[in-house]
A and B are shown apart, each in its own frame.
Chain A
Amino acid sequence: MAVFTGQQPDLREAAGWRRTKNRIATALMVVAFVLVVIPLVFVLITVVARGIKIISWQFLTAPIPPQVVPAGIGGIGPAIVGTIEIVGIAAVMAVPLGVLGAIYLNEYGGKGVLGRLIGFMADVMTGVPSIVMGLFIFSIWVLHFGFSGFAGALALGCLMLPVVIRSTDEMLKLVPNPLREGSYALGATKSRVTMTVVLPAAIGGIVSGALLAIARAVGETAPLLFTILTVTTVNRNVFSGPNTSLPSQIFANAISPYTGAQDRAWGAALTLIVIAFVLMIVARIVTARFTRYSR
Chain B
Amino acid sequence: MEQPEQDIATGLQPLEPAAEPQAPPTPEPQAYSEPGSPVFDAEKVSCYYGSFRAVTDVSLSIYEHEITAFIGPSGCGKTTVLRTLNRMNDLVAGARVEGEVRYRGASLYSKDVSPIAVRRNIGMVFQKPNPFPKSIYDNVAYGPRINGERNRGKLDEIVEHSLRQAALWDEVKNRLKASGLSLSGGQAQRLCIARTLAVEPDVVLMDEPCSALDPIATSAIEDLMRDIKSRYTIVIVTHNMQQATRVSDRTAFFSVLRNEESDTRTGVLVEYGRTQQIFEDPKDSRTEAYVTGQVG
Contacts and interface: CB of A to CB of B under 8 A. Distances in A.
**A/B contact in complex, CB under 8 angstroms:** yes
Interface of A: 111, 176, 178-179, 181-189, 191-192, 196-197, 200-201, 292-295
A186 B134 CA distance: 16
22 contacts: A178-B128, A179-B130, A181-B88, A182-B130, A182-B132, A183-B142, A186-B195, A187-B117, A187-B118, A187-B146, A187-B199, A188-B146, A189-B7, A200-B133, A201-B132, A293-B133, A294-B130, A294-B133, A294-B181, A295-B181, A295-B185, A295-B188
B19 interface: no
A291 to B, nearest CB: 9
A186 B131 contact: no
Contacts of A179: 130, 132-133
Interface residues of B, number: 33
B46 to A, nearest CB: 23
Given A183-B132, A185-B123, A191 B7 contact: yes
Contacts, number: 76
Interface of B: 7-8, 86, 88, 91, 93, 116-120, 123-124, 126, 128-134, 142-143, 146-147, 181, 183, 185, 188, 192, 195-196, 199
B142 to A, nearest CB: 7
A192 B134 CA distance: 15
Given A185-B123, A187-B116, A188-B116, 14 more contacts: A178-B130, A181-B91, A183-B132, A184-B91, A185-B86, A185-B119, A185-B124, A186-B195, A187-B117, A187-B120, A192-B8, A200-B133, A294-B130, A294-B133
Contacts of B181: 292, 294-295
A201 B118 CA distance: 26
B119 A111 contact: no
A200 B138 CA distance: 12
Q: Ordered nearest first, which 3 A-B pairs have the shortest CB separation?
A: A187-B120, A178-B130, A185-B124
Nearest to A180: B91
Contact of A186 (B91, B93, B146, B185): B146
Contacts of A189: 7-8, 116
Contact of A184 (B93, B119, B133, B147): B119
Contacts of B146: 186-188, 192, 196
B103 to A, nearest CB: 14
A192 B147 CA distance: 11
A188 B133 CA distance: 17
A217 to B, nearest CB: 30
B240 to A, nearest CB: 21
